Structure 1
Amino acid sequence: MRRYGIVWLTVFVGGWCCVHAQTATQILDQTTKVYAQIQSLRLEVNTEMTTVMGSSGNEMRSTQKTTQRALAMRPNYIRITARYDQLGMNSVEMGIFCDGKELYMQSPYFQQTLKQAAPKTLREVYTDENLQQAGYMLAGLDPIYLMVHGNWRKIAGQPRLVKRETLGNRTVYKLSVPIKPPLMFAGDTPAGTRASAYQILWIGVQDRLIWQSQVVMNVSEGRLQLMMRITERYTRQELNPRLQPTAFAYKPPQGYEIVSEFKAPDIAGVTNALKGQPAPEFALKDLQGKEVRLADCKGKIIVLNFFAHWCGPCRKEAPELEKGLWQAYKARDVVVLGVATWAHDNPTKRAEEFAREFKLTFPVLVDAENKVAEMYRVSGVPTTFIIDREGVVREFVVGADVAAIKRAITALLDAPQQP
């Protein structure tokens, strides 16, 4: 009797019964099949990435918005670009391009484009390694991944159907699925680091296309926690558009160098020009709104530390600067000046939160327009300059290396003072 009752419901209630009989696995299988069968794809995506970093009760939040456009065509054509504003600087574009013969990975960080022979298939083009070279991060399931790989199970676990709802003018399934953390979090990480990730997918009931995605990643190391939430809204999707190979032609931006391997910028070489020179003079306000000039500290050894509130190494270094340098050496006429730069938003507020979280008592100055960082040719944070009593730059340290800073201070303290 139960069997025939189910048949009766299927016949008379029709679509309602079938829709609600769908499992999350079936929905994801159907979505994968739709994308895996197409020959070409056009996408436009608005992305918002929110990052929250810190310890409980002392969190810092930043948001970055990106506009992405993508074209993909079998067997091996691809063009993905992302444009965004970074740290208040000019809008920059990163991208990965394959014109069928050559593969190009464009990095705005290096102002270079890596050129390689084109792989034969999209599956060999659209890899985590290649995307990272261009500054992207493969996180979870997306239309291109499903088109190229045709198997969601490689990076995702058992999905769960949350509910059926409306997204804009579409009726969608809302699915939750655990995913593998991106390669950058799954590789060599410090002992005790834990990473987990999951993805929410909004899939059209009628077309089985992904119209929205939200990836949430959590990384913890001791008390330090990082949460990253990436929301992608697909504003345009065309399946099997008519594309010509010329649509994938690549032309590097002005000033970019085509290279066979990325060459890291000569940070040390640029900054090294300041050694032996008078430290550039500046005036910045501290957290109390008081103007502080570098000249005010003349006659003392100055440790000038450039940091950013979102920078992991800066956060690890901060307690050591406070205890290992400022508290240890201030009685010997050594002054530590922290310069908060490259803030995503609200520079003074972010600097205040940073100083409060790490209980910093040395002066923290706010480089709201990044002009002092530019004056000192800072290309990465943390960067620290050690300035002698006469106001001359004697050493600099790129990266979190308090031991190297101590060695430079000791050398100046031990040097005989000129009368």
Structure 2
Amino acid sequence: MSPRELLLNSFQAALDAADPLKIVPAHLPSPPKGKTLVVGAGKAAAAMAQAVEAHWPVEANLEGIVITRYGHGLPTRKIEVIEAGHPLPDQHGELATQAILASVQALNANDLLLGLFSGGGSSLLSLPITGVSMGELKDITRQLLLCGASIQEINTVRKHLCAVLGGRLAAACRAPIHCLIISDVTGDEPTHIASGPCAPDPTTYADALAVIKQYAVHVSPHVMNILQDKSQHGEAETPKPGDPIFRNVKNCVIATGHQSLAAAECFFRTHNITPLMLGDTVTGEAREVAKVYAAVAKEICHYDNPFKPPVALISGGETTVTVKGHGRGGRNTEFLLSLAIALDRLKQVYALACDTDGIDGTEQNAGAILTPDSLIRAYQLGLNPNALLNNNDAYNFFEQLNDLLITGPTRINVNDYRVILIL
């Protein structure tokens, strides 16, 4: 098997470990006496809804609405799938969230709310709180995505600007709640996945204001006044851990980045390649993380330490990119371009970095592949790798090399998958 095939097949093994059609059925609850309302949001929501329909008792009363990103829908019979804006919220998401909230509020104690949540749900469940417009929510979200804030920090703000996030959906429900969750965040805490619609929120309006100030996010005086007023008076705060509204709520994380990395680890072992798991909690600037990993790869290449090649360095998590240039690209291609520069044509090293949802940043590629001759080929094409990196233009680098990896929507989202293969 060629190095490229090893990389691609390991990525597929990671995706298979998080496939909703394979993992959802084992976690379904029993039907209630009344009806089951399915609601959900995220890039995996449509696939999760399909899995529910395929395995729910035919005689049981089932209906619902889930929201997913444009292009991520799938055909369903009883559960309506609505496509909306991501990563920036839009009116389709707002209207769909209004419909979800109304349906949830109509449930009674004999019914069941079955939640299906995955990464991307925060922007899809985009119903602004009273006094905040969709335009204002969209602008604040855009700034947060560009400033280098972590997903936890971004979600802290969104929880306090949106009417169903941060446990507020659970607060609106009188029926028992059972949520199936696919994690796209480090730590796999339900409160951070899709901003925890049915999970307790330990953060406050004061925390949201602190994030806005830390990253110098421009907020209109009108919205700032709303946040400051709620922070000072504790008005309409999100429900906190220990709140009795969560007594009949069960949040089950059924797929994680670590499970997918473990599947890739098993794949490499079966091909007599030593896997070195670096974990699923990697954060920080993509280009800086790449420099650290390049140092580890060099140590293995030059000194057989800590293992003798062939070795696969496997990692997940979610790095960030502070956008200062005007190029194209996401955190995975930026990681790979920085890695290429740091490795400086080291002959033994190949790499792949992809977002498991099939979308790196806002582009149509999942990520890219790096080969030992990537820099050589780039120079032959007249490319300047350092200039491209400084312009946040890693997409152009790998596009010119024909090494972008385009999968289309995977309808899976367990964060990033990175592997550095040292032969």
Both proteins in one fold, TM over 0.5:
no
Structure 1-normalised TM-score?
0.27
Q: Specify which structure has the higher proportion of strand.
A: 1
TM-score, normalized by length of structure 2? 0.26
